[in-house]
Amino acid sequence: MGLIVWVFFSQALLAAAPSLVQNAALVRKVRFPREAIPASVATVQLVTFVVMLLIATAVALVVRDTLGPALLLLVPIVALLFCFVLGLSLAVSVLHAHFRDVEPVLGAALLPWFFVTPIFLRVDDLPGVTERGWLAALLQWGNPIAPFVDAVRQVLYAGVAPGAGHLLYIAAAGLIALSGGIALFRRFERDLAVTL
């Protein structure tokens, strides 16, 4: 389950980063909300994510053999994950348009980030982590994608709702990333026609 979330997150960012540069002619010639370019890239990745999530949900329900009310939380969790990814997509696209080196740096950063994200196991199941409480907290809460992975895992695999603190964290992360991405995009947007 964690791999589905990670693939959506990483592929959306990697595809959004060069999106403004790849559509430079359109950005220079036509007046339109330029946020639409990286937003459309993130939305395409969302469609793929939702299809994979529906398949995984069907499999999880067959394996678990129960259908609980916690499954309804999947909709707001996915919506907040999309807000998080969209905000970061807006940020990396406009930064790459201005500095041109964001995409390769992002690609290089995502590889070690993958290995510190609890994709296949819960943080508590990682060897040696339970003895070091600070390491477990860092892996779970210091990595902004990890709580989303864990929330989806709890709803689908365990059939339970994440705790209130967990839901509050992903709500804050999603909304902060979205508002920060929009603010950063608007800050650099006026120079896009010149830099592209």
Q: What is the mean pLDDT of each run of 10 residues along the chain (196 residues)?
A: 93 95 81 89 97 92 82 95 97 92 93 91 78 80 94 91 95 97 91 68
**What 3-state DSSP class applies to 41?**
helix
- Report pLDDT for 159: 87
Per the listing, tokens 């905000």 go with: 87
What pLDDT was estimated at residue 196?
A: 62
CA distances, 131 to each of 138, 180, 188 (Å): 13, 36, 45
The terminus-to-terminus CA distance of the chain in angstroms comes to: 38
Domain boundaries, the chain: 2-195
The Cα 187–Cα 195 span in angstroms is: 14
- Identify whether the C-beta of residue 11 lies closer than 8 Å to the C-beta of residue 85: no
- pTM of the model as a whole: 0.92
